[in-house]
Structure 1
Amino acid sequence: MRPSIKQVASQAGVSIATVSRLLNKPGSVSAETAERIHQTIAALGFRPNFTGRNLRAGNSRTVGVVVPTLSNTVFAQCLQGIELAARELAYSVMFTATEYLPQDESAAVERLLSHRVDGVILTVADAGANATLDLLEHERIPYVLAYNQLSDNAPGRTAVSVDNRQAARDAVAHLIALGHTRIQMLSGQFSASDRALQRHQGYLEAMQAAQLAPLPAIEVQRHTLTAATDYQQLLADPACRPSALFCSNDLLALSAMRDLRALGLRVPQDISVMGFDGIPLGELMEPVLSSVVQPSGQIGEVALRTLVAAIENDNAGLAAAEQRRILPHAIRTGASAAAYVAPAPED
């Protein structure tokens, strides 16, 4: 059980009402008493319950969700899966976003914990080395990672994802099967996403398996914006332009298609584009976006059910098969990636 307001009051030698006054109206308690209460709160690891619900029961039937952004609909789809499953199990959901800033992850989780959520579903920049996850484990707060794919050096951590490396390898293999040999990866910054790194590894493996020379990855500042000058120059130069782009997410792929049109290039006649996520918007584009499709709604649903199982079993350890849930992906062939046609020689 987490520390209660009653324990804080008892250890600080004050009444519950005094602790409550301090939390809700700090100026109403003397400085000496406030200092003693704050020291007790820090020592016990107590977090005030601003919702005021279920204090005596020690749980709120609320889960927190931390995602990088909601501007990418892949996370909105995941959140919908979480919400529908939570509703079925009589849980509520609170969410926040980090805007792809790793340094904001801990603050986002702290905000949720201050509302006494029973557990957290989160997507982090790096699941292998992460202070936020270390904190959750130290305080025995159940959590499940969504989209982060755990490596073997992260024992005990629970995650739901697709196999990012294999999915990327399949996507690049699809481009190779279409006859492309100059394939370049366009990605958000690897430091902001371990998924992008894993997808880059899949790109490298596919190129090496086909005995093709990998091209240097193009990292752009934001996952969904492609305003980098060197990127624009690369696409404009026929001598160094790849025949196909593999993008680490669909919004990046759609942005690339926009930029290519602005440069007077046709997709897929002049350059093919492949995305990753399979967001529904891609099917509404002309041409339809070729992409790796991951089951985002199902990722959210499975993550919620896994988290609730951990909460209701008092954070008991999950079986190894439940800790590493890898869901199937698919390749949407679309029309933005087509068979390679060598450019006609110039007169």
Structure 2
Amino acid sequence: MPATMHAVRVHTLGGPEVLAYEEIARPEPGPGEVLLRVHAAGVNPPDWYARRGFANIPEGMRPQVPLPFTPGTDVSGVVAALGPGVTEWQVGDEVFGLLRFPSLGARAYAEYTTSPVGDLARKPESVDHLHAAGVPMAGLTAYQFLFDHIKLEPGSRVLVNGAAGGVGHFAVQLAKDAGCHVIGVASGRHEAFLKELGVAEFVDYTQKVAGEAVRDVDCVLDSVGGPQAYRLLPAIKDGGVYSPIFLGEYGEEEMARRGIEKRGRQVRSDGGQMAELARLMDEGRLRTGVDSVFPLRDAAKAHERAEHGHIQGKIVLQVAD
């Protein structure tokens, strides 16, 4: 096993151009950890938030970003070595997971990284590493919001805003699989993709305001947020649930007046839930939409793609052949 590896590092905060492809020392797993040979790494919003110093978050709430750092939390790869006391995994096991989130320091944009054993699950046998690496953060966010926070019930009318994106396209499939009537909101170019995934109704937000076109939904999973997010509130029935993932203007006064409950929290690493997502994938009930793939050395180009928006599924870095 080599003593060094290639990784993407950030030495100064800024745009995609600050992502540097470098050769650095390979890490060693500590107690309760494994060393992973990373085959693919998923690209997620917190990756570019950290690269910019979390400038999207109010100043008093921003996490401190230690420099230099290696971005990334989502991996699919192979166990290369075991730390002291590890019995849960064996060298050669194919695994995937969301590493160390929401704490910083996962370091997924690298040829090798370390992971706590509890953050991992066995990679689905039915997909390659590229498709597996697109699952962890987005898939766990959709799963935790729908089942831990919203507590979805069969037969519910569910509106997914930003339905074609990373979280959105998993939420559509999970809600459909749970027996719900799913309404997907995205731009028109994603309509065919979302109908393949199981949306019962599609709203093109470039043509209609979803809050005016839809009524009587039990819950909204909003993966967009931002200014005027409250425009979705008319779609929710009184006493329903609004579950936003990002910061935004959600109209708390109207929600309180109409008995609409706001539910959600930061996604967290969970190997057990990753195993459930893997099971659904192997049973053909869940799949990863891959927007684009970039080699690790071109992580800056992957971030440029992300900043252009209108992503269909996930952006993934290919680390090993």
Shared topology, TM-score over 0.5?
Answer: no
TM-score (ref. length: structure 2): 0.37
Q: Which structure has the highest helix share of the two? A: 1
TM-score (ref. length: structure 1): 0.35
Q: Which structure has the highest strand share of the two? A: 2
Larger radius of gyration: 1
Q: Report 1 or 2 for greater relative contact order, CA contacts < 8 Å, sequence distance ≥ 6.
A: 2
